[in-house]
Amino acid sequence: MGSGAIVETLDLAGTLVFALSGAVVGVRRRMDLFGVLVLAFVTAVAGGILRDVLIGAIPPAAIANWHALALSVAAGLFAFLFPAAIDRLRFPVQFFDAAGLGMFAATGTHKALEYGISPLMAAMLGMISGIGGGMVRDVLSAQVPVVLRSEIYALAALAGAALVAAGYQFDLPTPATLLAGTGLCLFLRVMAIYRGWHLPLGRPPDQTPSD
């Protein structure tokens, strides 16, 4: 399978799993069908649209073709009609989100590199591609975005994106670096979920009671 096919496959798979994560949140928040479909779509495309706007890929791929909308609608309908099937997973939202995070971080970095962005900034844009959808999903569902908590989330996306950028810098095979970057991000995120890995928390200075 060539690099183009790998990128397209990861991008479509990432769209599907991110849409599922958004749809599951919508169902759990007791949104109606339209609300679930909207949340599925914006979760799937927000990060990619922001990346495309920043690198000048206009119109964004998620709007220029029908694939993202079709996958989002399919994922939303499935989550709405068969919630029990998805809920059998221990952490369905986190699992789908982790998978989408890794795929979008890798493909987002690759696309930025193709547009001539430096490897360092391409990795940053890859991270943005990964975290954007989850941030919008959490805001629309009235939750504190997971990227602002202590859990390893944006750091996992950045690590996977950096691996893809490093592979490009050292002229390594694109399919291998894309899969490795996706895998690294997924591993870090899953460990954060199941093992409780997290970043240090800020500690405010002790408050001295006034006399």
The residue segments making up the domain with residue 64 are 3-195
Dihedral in degrees, nearest 10, Cα atoms 2, 8, 10, 15: 180
The answer to whether the CB of 36 falls within 8 A of the CB of 76 is yes
Phi/psi of residue 153, nearest 5 degrees: -135, -70
> Helices (DSSP H) in 115-173: which residue ranges?
119-140, 154-169
Q: How far apart are CA 39 and CA 45, in angstroms?
A: 10
| 151 vs 192, higher pLDDT | 192
209 in a structural domain: no
- Please enumerate in sequence order all residues whose Cβ is within 8 A of that of 156, keeping only pairs 6 or more positions apart, or say none: 98, 101, 102, 105, 184, 185, 186, 188, 189, 192
144 belongs to a structural domain: yes
Q: Is residue 201 part of a domain?
A: no
Percent of the chain with pLDDT over 90: 67
Residue 205 lies in a domain: no
Answer yes or no: is 96 within a domain.
yes
- pLDDT per residue as tens digits for the range 105-141: 999 999 999 999 999 999 999 999 999 998 999 999 9
Count how many domains the chain has: 1
**pLDDT class of 207 with cuts at 50, 70, 90:** low
> Domain for residue 171, yes or no?
yes
Q: 67-77, pLDDT tens digit by residue?
A: 999 999 999 99
Q: Compute how many other C-beta atoms are within 10 angstroms of the C-beta atom of residue 57.
A: 17
Which pLDDT value is given to residue 30? 93
Coil/strand/helix, residue 198: strand
- The strand pairing partners of 151, in sequence order, are 198
Residues 144-176, buried b or exposed e (16+ Cβ, 10 A)? eebbeeebbbbbbbbbbbbbbbbbbeeeeebbe
Total count of residues recorded for the chain: 211
The Cα–Cα gap between 136 and 46 comes to 7
Residue 125 lies in a domain: yes
If one counts every other C-beta atom within 10 angstroms of the C-beta of residue 116, the result is 9
pLDDT at 210: 52
Is the pLDDT reported for residue 88 higher than 80?
A: no
Residues facing 198 on adjacent strands: 151
Residue 210 in domain: no
